[in-house]
Structure 1
Amino acid sequence: MQFIAICEDQPEELSALSRLLDETLPEFFPNYRIMGYSSGLELMETLRQESEIPSLLFLDIYLKDTTGIQIAQYIRSQGFDIQIIFLTSSREFIMESYDLNVLYYIVKPLDR
């Protein structure tokens, strides 16, 4: 079972990405589960408890309570094997994302 997490503080964007993944993923991963987090601190608490570790994380950079950069730094410092895809409205952190070994850096808005 593939566990995929989305951390996005804008409810419309979280919902839109979840729908897009639900339309696309079954072809590649018949068994998957998506968990949405509207708070970066909520995601970090889940990771700290190590109750569920996603294999793939779609991570907004600009969050209300922390930044995606800080979350990615925490993930890497703890040695979690999570593929990270940054989703952001800015190109500002592209170079920094290389240092964090992210899989992709996608600039919003998302199109099919």
Structure 2
Amino acid sequence: MRLRNATIAAASAVALVLAVPTSANAATGDFLYKVGPGIPAGLADPASGECINLFGATEANPAFAPENFTSSTATVFLDFDCDGDVFYVMNPGKRLGDRLKLRSVVFS
């Protein structure tokens, strides 16, 4: 009888652990930017720890005017693939002007 109760308790514990969702590895919120005059773009709940090349940004025309409305710190890079020496760290809630150019971003 005790073995059966212990087995049921162990199986219940395993089921409970598997039923609890793990945290999504994402920055909650929106990261907004522009890719041309009056052309907004953005990322919703972007993945954390992964470099994201910004949609609409090109070699000739980088994105600009980033706004970090996520729960994470965003590091924006002038170059694609989060490469190069030109970058800027944006805390959550930070907005930057049209003069800041970017092509990729990574979230903490």
State TM-score, norm by structure 1: 0.26
Q: Relative to total residues, which structure has the larger helix share, 1 or 2?
A: 1
Q: Relative to total residues, which structure has the larger strand share, 1 or 2?
A: 2
